[in-house]
């Protein structure tokens, strides 16, 4: 059970007692600074902030200097009046209790307690280091925006606001984690997002009781519809343009402070095969690349299992010349096709995991050299055959073509290896049937996960295995969007548009 916060204690009019209240609330912090401002031997105010999280120069210039230069303006005035007439700050708010006050201080703000006032002033003067906006590493594109989200929530919100210049773009803030008090921002476009969907997302987020949220992956696992499915029912992305495209279809985004990955719901199976770059290039190449993604995913799941089924159960399906070559390659190996594929697939996963965890220069060398050396030595030692190395290696490459389904493809690959090892083609048929039944039963926040294939939505098939021209994709997804269904004029070829 997550730790419960202590009860709120409200400030009084005695400045010294308010400072003591804060000291009792936080305990002894080496980096907590409490600076008292005195005029004529009397303390008129106290500044409270964390060293390294607040901009000291800004505090001195915009808060300390104005207060010391015009102390007479503090007499008999509320913190709001003092901020409006005296301080050089643009963003401020008030707090009347220790919890609200310290939550802002922990976030890097500067707090001001005034003598004779039961209300504190909080100024946004954050000064901690942040990573600059750069190209996302997980979603590389040739054409399109090079901007990627960063770990700062307000910066990420501004990146969406720059792309959607309309009052209908909504941001709703909340905090999760009894200890971390992580800032969460819910974003959607009013009039396109289903109000019931927005409320459902809010209810699931508000029902979370946890001590800390360190990354958006926490929320992804705590709000998803199918926690026992290998398929993700909550999508994530580092690219602002991709998130904007989903918001324009009526989806809801969830941003978490401290991570560059933004969640979007609901999500569909077919979205994993779509890239933002597909819509920036002409439809012919985009359709071919998308077809290759589907083929790569199918091969990543079925490739090793198909090899086991054919070589172990249905050898008559192989042409005579190829069969002879495969027999010669596997003749001296002590392991069966099933053991060979299963063993080398496990070896590859170990090499891949080691390459990911090691430092980047070393990890790349380990992944490439380790895979080549181990495979070549295993073939020369007669442990496995060359066709097994080829099949597993090509499967490994195909698995990363659809990055969003890499985890699911890995799990399914081993499941189909075991089924084909046991029953041959009948095992593949059984596994495929169970897989399709599972896919059609999944939902993501009330939307069928396998749409538009099941249930069949003919119009939306234009943007699945192939991508139709943009002028034929004028309607938003009817199973997600409410309000206006049309995103552009009805289907008119560009060469037939009437000129003014």
Return d(Cα 77, Cα 96) in angstroms, integer: 16
Question: 307: helix, coil or strand?
Answer: helix
Per-residue pLDDT tens for 353-378?
A: 777 777 766 666 666 666 667 777 77
Q: What span, in angstroms and rounded, lies between the C-alpha atoms of 225 and 223?
A: 7
| pLDDT given for residue 38 in this prediction | 83
Higher pLDDT pick, 132 / 6:
132
The answer on pLDDT for 2 being more than 60 is no
Query: What distance in Å separates the CA atoms of residue 155 and residue 150, rounded to the nearest whole number?
Result: 7
pLDDT digits (tens, 9 = 90+) for 444-455: 999 999 999 988
Tokens of 327: 């027999």
Q: How far is CA 284 from CA 115, 301, 428, in A?
A: 71, 26, 33
Closest by alpha carbon to 189, among 246, 148, 149? 246
Mean pLDDT of 130-159: 86
Question: For the purposes of burial, counting CB atoms within 10 Å of the CB of 398, is it exposed (0-12), middle (13-18) or buried (19 or more)?
Answer: buried
**What mean pLDDT comes out for the span 256-261?**
92
The one-character DSSP state at 96 is -
Token pair of 463 as six digits: 């943007």
CA 102 to chain centre: 28
3-state secondary structure of 62: helix
**pTM value?**
0.86
Q: How far apart are CA 164 and CA 240, in angstroms?
A: 11
Structure tokens at 380: 């020369």
1 pLDDT band, cuts 50/70/90, is: very low
Orientation of helix 98-106 relative to helix 15-26, angle to 10°: 60
Query: Do 214 and 249 contact (CB within 8 A), yes or no?
Result: no
| Number of Cβ within a 10 Å radius of residue 123 | 25
Q: Most distant CA pair in the chain: distance in Å?
A: 102
Query: 155: buried, middle or exposed (CB in 10 Å: 19+, 13-18, 0-12)?
Result: middle
- pLDDT at residue 300, rounded to an integer: 92
């Amino acid at each position: 059970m997550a730790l419960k916060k202590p009860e709120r204690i409200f400030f009084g009019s005695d400045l010294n007692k308010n400072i003591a209240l804060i000291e009792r609330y936080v305990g002894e912090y080496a980096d907590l600074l409490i600076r008292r401002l005195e005029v004529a031997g009397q303390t008129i105010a106290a500044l409270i902030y964390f060293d390294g999280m607040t901009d000291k120069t800004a505090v001195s210039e915009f808060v300390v200097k104005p207060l010391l230069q015009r102390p007479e303006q503090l007499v008999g005035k509320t913190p709001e009046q003092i901020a409006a007439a005296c301080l050089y700050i643009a963003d401020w708010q008030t707090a009347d209790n220790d919890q609200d006050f310290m939550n802002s201080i922990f976030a890097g703000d500067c707090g001001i307690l005034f003598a004779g006032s039961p209300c504190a002033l909080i100024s946004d003067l954050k000064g901690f280091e942040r990573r600059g906006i750069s190209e996302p590493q997980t979603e590389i594109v040739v054409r399109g925006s090079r901007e990627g989200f960063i770990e700062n929530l307000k910066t990420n919100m501004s990146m969406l606001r720059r792309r959607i210049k309309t009052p209908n773009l909504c941001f709703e803030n909340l905090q999760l984690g009894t200890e971390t008090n992580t800032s969460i921002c819910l974003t959607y476009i009013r009039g396109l997002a289903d109000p019931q969907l927005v409320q459902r997302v809010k209810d699931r987020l508000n029902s979370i009781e946890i001590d800390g949220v360190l990354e958006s992956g926490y929320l992804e696992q705590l709000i998803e519809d199918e926690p026992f499915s290998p398929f993700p029912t909550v999508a994530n992305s580092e690219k602002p343009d991709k998130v904007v495209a989903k918001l324009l279809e009526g989806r809801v985004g969830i941003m978490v402070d401290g991570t560059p990955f933004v969640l979007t719901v609901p999500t569909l199976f077919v979205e994993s095969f779509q890239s933002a770059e597909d819509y920036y290039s002409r439809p012919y190449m985009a359709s071919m690349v998308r077809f290759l993604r589907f083929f790569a995913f199918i091969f990543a799941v079925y490739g090793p299992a198909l090899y086991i089924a054919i070589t172990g159960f249905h050898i008559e399906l192989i042409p005579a010349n190829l069969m002879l070559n495969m027999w010669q390659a596997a003749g001296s190996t002590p392991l069966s096709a099933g053991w060979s594929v299963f063993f080398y697939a496990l070896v590859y996963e170990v090499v891949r995991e080691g390459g990911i965890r090691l430092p980047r220069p070393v990890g790349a060398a380990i992944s490439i050299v380790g895979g080549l050396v181990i495979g070549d030595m295993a073939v020369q030692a007669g442990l496995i055959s060359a066709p097994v190395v080829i099949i597993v290696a090509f499967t490994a490459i195909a698995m990363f073509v659809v990055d969003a389904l890499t985890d699911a493809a890995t799990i399914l690959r081993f499941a189909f290896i075991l089924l084909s090892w046991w029953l041959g083609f009948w095992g593949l048929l059984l596994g495929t049937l169970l897989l399709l039944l599972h896919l059609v039963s999944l939902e993501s926040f009330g939307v069928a996960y396998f749409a538009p294939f099941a249930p069949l939505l003919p119009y939306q098939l234009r943007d699945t295995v192939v991508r139709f021209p943009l002028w034929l994709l004028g309607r938003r997804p009817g199973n997600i969007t409410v309000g206006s269904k049309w995103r552009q004029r009805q289907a008119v070829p560009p060469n037939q548009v009437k000129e003014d």
